[in-house]
Amino acid sequence: MQLIDGKSLASKVQSSVSAEVEQLKQEKNIVPGLAVILIGDDPASHAYVKMKAKACEKVGFYSITHHMPDTISQDEIIATIEMMNANPRIDGILVQLPLPKHVDTDKILEVIDPNKDVDGFHAYNVGRLVTKLDAFVACTPLGVMRMFEEYKIELKGQNVCVVGASNIVGKPMAALLLNADATVTVTHIHTKDLKSHTLRADIIVVGVGVPGLIKEDMVKEDAIVIDIGINRLEDGSLVGDVDFAKVSPKCSYITPVPGGVGPMTIAMLLSNTVKAAKGRV
């Protein structure tokens, strides 16, 4: 069993981004800019945005956070996004999810200029991803693909089971795997007999937010398991969607939680923002 070390790979990606930022500054006098919209006081969202800001500072980005109360109107959020769409210093716009219930998330994401959609959630970019055209891709699935590349894990012809069908993780993950010529099964909350699907899989990618969902008897010998889930237990500890202690001995490769996919999400956000900066006209 080999651990896939997302922390060290993320550090490697960030070093590469730093070098690209320096090059952009010297050759084109461009400093990549990332703007984040944070609404409300959700502690997890605040912690995540803080981590993003710290990562931006480390690689030399210009970054700004618009912190708004959860009582803010949808029109005011849209006006802020449109202002950032028009701002030449901003290359990437990120709306921290989830949004308050009175806000239409789909409508908000559609307002973002697709060329600044570094989260890869705009329908334009999702459509380009599905049709195998160059696009901004959701950061977590993109990070998983970077892991496969780093560890030289062959995807062509492999049976992959994606557990979870969210727009943010499951669907773009499945599209990326299909584009890499894997045979993909997507399971979700209404799937009957999840175990029958995971047991056939050479690779399992899970991201649903259910601690310990994937058990030892659901994984075949030498499978590769990518755990995107991150859950905080009552004792304060962080765990994934996989029963790591019992599943890991059966795996050829597995990601830990924490220290697996999580750091890669922010690393790929930085990478997408540099890509957007390079596209400045």
37 beta partners? 66, 95
- Of 5, 119, 202, 243, catalytic: 119
Q: Does residue 58 have an active-site annotation? A: no
Of 13, 33, 31, nearest to 91 by C-alpha is: 33
Q: Does residue 243 have an active-site annotation? A: no
- Of 52, 117, 202, 241, catalytic: 52
Q: Is the peptide bond before 249 cis (omega within 30 degrees of 0)?
A: no
Q: Is 95 helix (H, G, I), strand (E, B) or coil?
A: strand
Non-local (6+) Cβ contacts of 21 within 8 A are: 31, 32, 59, 60, 61, 274
Token output for 237 = 């500890």
How many whole angstroms separate alpha carbon 3 and alpha carbon 147? 11
C-alpha to C-alpha distances, 49 to 53, 67, 181, 202, 230, nearest whole angstrom: 6, 10, 34, 35, 16
- Of 5, 14, 91, 96, catalytic: 96
Q: Does residue 119 have an active-site annotation? A: yes
For residue 64, the surrounding DSSP H or E stretch is strand 62-68
Is 212:235 a contact under the CB 8 Å cutoff? Answer: no
Residues recognised as catalytic = 52, 96, 119
